[in-house]
Amino acid sequence: MNTLVDIAAVQQRVAALNLPGKAFINGRFVDALSGETFANISPRNGQVLNHVASCQAEDVDVAVKAARQAFDSGVWSQLAPKERKKVLLRFAALFEQHMTELALLETLDMGKPVSESAGFDVHAVLECLQWYAECCDKVYDEIAPSGPGALGMITREAIGVVAAVTPWNFPMLMAMWKVAPALAMGNSVILKPAEQSPLTALRIAELAAQAGIPPGVFNVLPGFGPTAGRALGLHMDVDTLVFTGSGEVGKLFLQYAGQSNMKRVWLECGGKTPNIILNDCRNLEKAATTAARSMFFNQGEVCVAPSRLIVEEGIRNEFVAEVLKVARTIAIGDPLDPATQLGAMVDKAQMDRVLGYIRKGSEEGARIILGGERASGALADGFFIPPTIFDDVTNDMTIAREEIFGPVLSVINARDHLDAVRIANDSPYGLAASLWTSDLSRAHSIIRSLRAGSVWVNCFDGGDITMPFGGYKQSGNGRDRSMHALDKYSELKSAWIDLQD
């Protein structure tokens, strides 16, 4: 990664990149059957990066058939777990060799700073792939406590054809959280990346094939949601549909399953993470730095972005001043510049959506204390919004209730810790929550009270691949990461053998 020392070095690497544009089905790159493509636009400057195959229902059919055939043949599904592990570890090693290239593709495609794609994303993807590769031959089945007259065996089996439909904010990581455990269990996988960011998924499919993952076992279909995504959701021969994205589309997948084959549907949807700072927080400086940096990480396009900053009254003024101080130092700029800390919004539609929320916040009476407008000057051609902070927000305002998915922070006052918890839970979402306090007993009781899948105390987004991740309420169902993710990619079989004869 140290080859990315300055923008000139990065641009040199970018100029040499090959941008993949075809679908990857049954072990090879192919055009969409219709021959249609779509223009893949750069968030940095609004220019066309390349043209990418626009897959439709007919391409989905071909991919599902290939995936089913591969599954039924047993070439992957029946491979001894330790052999699957070897192939996945080879896949991880190839991924590691290409991390700089993949980081650059990710940054070009979705606008995140190269310091983040190279410094965070690729490492997290590698860790995920290695971890699930190692899982292959470490998952044991169960024998039930059935007494001497019978043997009750509970075995976990691959489920079949898994379709994964993923978002653009962490294109590689969100995909790998699904692809790695699905492959580790022996399934065949069809991945449909978001239309805004298909490049890394296509490159990864090529590396998987090079590592020895057989044709048909891992397919990547670029295309739009209402065509390719919908066709996967409605397909009669997809066994499981795993999704990360908006709640609106998540609900559609539940309907598609009901209209088709009752496929299993697992959803990782949005969030409106409360970040609670209590008067007894020991290190206000650390809490403020974390509040600002976490909020503006990845342009705020993060499902767990701590967008509701809930501060207890006693420390409120001092704390908000400190957050403001840190937010002012965050360098917005060209995502290819290694010095940039806040890059471009993924596309114009997302930028306009975020600017719409900013307008709404002001109309409803919140007060902008930082940012609030599209960046101009050298950044005017791209889709850039600087760090934006609203003060005097109440939890009933639109900006506190709906997921903005952009660099917009709302400061909300709390009278005391009970009020803070009440505000935190007053949301349709329940993905994560963060709490800053030095009172351990209170921390424990608040952890229990918070209706969220992850709770972080005196830190933000703590944990790693060993910890399950997913939501309560309308943030979704099921969990990515950890051994618990395997539940999505397997069926349990109960076999009872009578031993009396």
Nearest distance in Å: CB 29, ligand NAD = 20
Q: Which is nearer to ligand NAD, 189 or 320 (CB)?
A: 189
End-to-end Cα, the chain, rounded Å: 65
Q: Which is nearer to ligand NAD, 4 or 269 (CB)?
A: 269
Nearest distance in Å: CB 211, ligand NAD = 25
Q: Which is nearer to ligand NAD, 60 or 158 (CB)?
A: 60
List residues near ligand NAD by CB under 6 A. 165-169, 174, 192, 194-195, 224-226, 229-230, 233, 244-246, 249, 252, 268-271, 303, 403, 405, 431, 471, 476
Nearest distance in Å: CB 339, ligand NAD = 26
Q: Is 128 a catalytic residue?
A: no
Q: Which is nearer to ligand NAD, 183 or 346 (CB)?
A: 346
* Burial class of residue 82 (count of CB atoms within 10 Å of its CB; 0-12, 13-18, 19+): exposed
C-alpha 71/C-alpha 73 separation (Å) is: 5
Residues 6+ apart with CB under 8 A from 218: 24, 179, 183, 188, 189, 191, 205, 208, 209
C-alpha 472/C-alpha 352 separation (Å) is: 29
Nearest distance in Å: CB 38, ligand NAD = 11
CA distances from 388 to 3, 166, 258, 375, 406 (A): 32, 27, 41, 11, 9
Nearest distance in Å: CB 165, ligand NAD = 5
* Burial class of residue 376 (count of CB atoms within 10 Å of its CB; 0-12, 13-18, 19+): exposed
Tokens at 35, concatenated: 């021959």
Say if CB 400 and CB 391 are below 8 A apart.
no
Nearest distance in Å: CB 472, ligand NAD = 11
Helix (H, G, I), strand (E, B) or coil at 233: helix
Q: Which is nearer to ligand NAD, 186 or 270 (CB)?
A: 270
Q: Kindly report the number of other CB atoms within 10 A of residue 75's CB atom.
A: 16
Q: Which is nearer to ligand NAD, 311 or 431 (CB)?
A: 431
Q: Which is nearer to ligand NAD, 192 or 203 (CB)?
A: 192
C-alpha 32/C-alpha 313 separation (Å) is: 58
- φ, ψ for residue 103 (rounded to 5)? -65, -40
C-alpha 193/C-alpha 168 separation (Å) is: 7
Q: Kindly report the number of other CB atoms within 10 A of residue 5's CB atom.
A: 10
Nearest distance in Å: CB 390, ligand NAD = 19
Q: Which of 268, 301, 312, 322 is catalytic?
A: 268
Say if CB 438 and CB 334 are below 8 A apart.
no
Q: Is 303 a catalytic residue?
A: yes
Active site amino acids: 268, 303
